[in-house]
Each structure stands twice: as C-alpha cells, then as structure tokens.
Amino acid sequence: MWKEVKGKAAGGVVQQLLCAWTYGMPIGTREPRYEVLLHWPDGTWTDANEEEIMGEEMPDYWMAISRP
C-alpha cells in the first residue's frame, strides 16, 4: 500500500523503499516515475549512490519493499 512521503517518520534503521513521483497530478492522470530510495534513521532520503534527495526532488509516495 502506498503511503505519503510527507508523513514518513524517521526510524531506527536504514530502509530501502520503492518511491513514486506523481508530479502533483492525481494517480492515473500521468504515468508515475518509480525509483528505490534509502531512508536513513535521521530522516534523510538518498538515492542508490547515497546522494541526498531534497525539497522539490522528493517523491510523493513510498512503499516498503523486502528482499525475496
């Protein structure tokens, strides 16, 4: 189930999350962009290269993923 990024609380571990950008449009209006991001215990978001994601670059939604 998708959850909004703006409500994501910092946790005690690094989490790998599937994230979606909807570009401020209702879901179904435009194809979202998806990417796996890391959410760090201090609340920082980074991409796979550990480059910080900030402000307008932040996704709209996230979903927990687990390894097979």
d(CA 56, CA 59): 8
Q: What confidence score (pLDDT) does residue 25 get?
A: 75
CB 35 within 8 A of CB 28: no
Residue-level length of the chain: 68
Tens of pLDDT along the chain (68 residues) come to: 889 999 899 878 999 999 999 987 766 677 889 999 999 999 999 999 999 999 989 999 999 998 77
For residue 41, which of 8, 15, 20, 4 has the smallest C-alpha distance?
15
Q: What confidence score (pLDDT) does residue 27 get?
A: 66
Q: What confidence score (pLDDT) does residue 68 get?
A: 76
Cα distance from N-terminal residue to C-terminal residue, the chain: 18
